[in-house]
């Protein structure tokens, strides 16, 4: 959820703000490019069958068992690109295309989610920190923009500052997510290589491309969130200087 304010805020009349234009371009273009690259890369390698003939479910189960995670469950979930690891239930959930698929994309995504399960088992610090942030982030998501809105309505700097701090918490969460995702992808490629699930440089390169494309969507989200936070800080400073 984004609140964009292009003029002045607080009742001194409207004026053009070039920072709004810059932010709007970032908010629109960066995610669009990242999502477009993910879609094209994923669809490309979804059509390329891996030589092993294994399904995503086969690969996930093998990786989990190899790392002593026989207790981690593996299930199919609805939706597209809805794959995830649920640490609370110790379950890897794979979408239909990934669970039943034998493509390079399917194996790469399945291995990536197992990478998160391995992180959880190994108490990977960034993942633990990210998990600990969940309650605070949920609160920040619910009340951050409400505080900002109240700050604009009533002209109170305290509400606006509180809102900015809460938005800052959500930005920190997105930044912490980056090493978690990149590390899971690194683990995925390592597992696929060590277990000889992918053959030859072409298949390995394809898996890396899919995982890199997915990671870039998180980078894009973080960039937009940082730009939004900076814009809110500029608004706050502008109000205090007027």
Q: What is the CA radius of gyration of the chain?
A: 21
Selected catalytic residue, list 76, 113, 194, 202: 113
Alpha helices in 47-156 (DSSP H): 56-66, 96-99, 104-121, 125-154
Q: How far apart are CA 233 and CA 242, in angstroms?
A: 14
Q: Residue 92: beta bridge partners?
A: 74, 85
Q: How far apart are CA 188 and CA 114, in angstroms?
A: 7
Q: Apex CA 220: angle with CA 150 and CA 124, to 5°? A: 95
Half-sphere exposure of 56 (CA within 13 A, CB side): 30
Q: Is 194 a catalytic residue?
A: no
Q: How far apart are CA 43 and CA 218, in angstroms?
A: 19
Q: In the structure encoding, which two tokens stand for residue 185, read together?
A: 């992808």
Active-site residues, by number, are 113
């Amino acid at each position: 959820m984004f609140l964009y304010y292009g003029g002045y805020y607080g009742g001194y009349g409207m004026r053009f703000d070039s920072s709004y234009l810059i932010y709007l371009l970032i908010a629109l273009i960066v995610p669009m490019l990242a999502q477009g690259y993910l879609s094209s890369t994923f669809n490309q390698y979804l059509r390329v069958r891996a030589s092993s003939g294994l399904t995503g479910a086969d690969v996930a189960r093998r990786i989990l068992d190899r790392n002593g995670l026989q207790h981690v469950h593996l299930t199919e979930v609805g939706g597209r690109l809805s794959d995830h690891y649920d640490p609370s239930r110790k379950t890897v959930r794979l979408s239909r295309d990934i669970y039943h698929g034998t493509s390079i994309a399917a194996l790469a995504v399945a291995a990536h989610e197992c990478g998160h399960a391995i992180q959880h088992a190994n108490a990977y610090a960034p993942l633990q920190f990210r998990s600990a942030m969940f309650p605070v982030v949920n609160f920040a998501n619910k009340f951050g923009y409400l505080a900002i809105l109240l700050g604009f309505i009533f002209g109170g700097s305290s509400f606006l500052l509180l809102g900015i701090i809460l938005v800052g918490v959500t930005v920190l969460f997105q930044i912490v997510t980056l090493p978690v995702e990149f590390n899971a992808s690194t683990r995925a490629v390592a597992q696929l290589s060590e277990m000889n699930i992918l053959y030859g440089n072409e298949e390995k390169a394809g898996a890396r491309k899919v995982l890199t494309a997915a990671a870039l969507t998180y980078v894009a989200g973080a960039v937009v969130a940082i730009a939004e936070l900076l814009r809110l800080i500029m608004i706050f400073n502008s109000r205090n200087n007027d």
